[in-house]
Amino acid sequence: MDYYAMVEQCWQLSEAARDYTVQAGRDVAKGEVWERVFAVSPLVDIERTLREAPQFDRIYLRSPYGLQYRGEHKDWIPFRHGAIDLSSDATL
C-alpha cells in the first residue's frame, strides 16, 4: 500500500475544500463544503462520515486516512483512523 500517496490525496482534498471556500469569498459552513467538495469525491467514505461525524468535524476516506476540521483555522487537516502495515513490503 502506498501510504504516502494516500496522505497526499488527503492534502489534495483539503486544498480543494480551501479553494472552494476562497472562491466563495465568504464564510462557508462545513455542510456546504461537504456537499460541494467532499460528498462528490470518490475518496470519501460517505456512509462512515455520515454515521460517525454527522456534523462534518471529520471526513473519513476509504483509505486509513481522513480529514479533521480545525475550527480555529477553518480548514481540514489529515488524520489517521485506520491501521497501517509498516512491514518491510509496505510502501510508506
Q: pLDDT digit string (tens) for 38-63?
A: 999 999 999 999 999 999 999 999 99
Confidence (pTM): 0.85
In Å, what is the CA distance from 4 to each residue of 21, 52, 81?
26, 25, 15
Q: pLDDT digit string (tens) for 19-34?
A: 999 999 999 999 999 9
What band does 2 get if pLDDT is binned at 50, 70 and 90? Answer: confident
Evaluate the CA torsion angle 71, 40, 64, 19 in order and state its sign.
negative
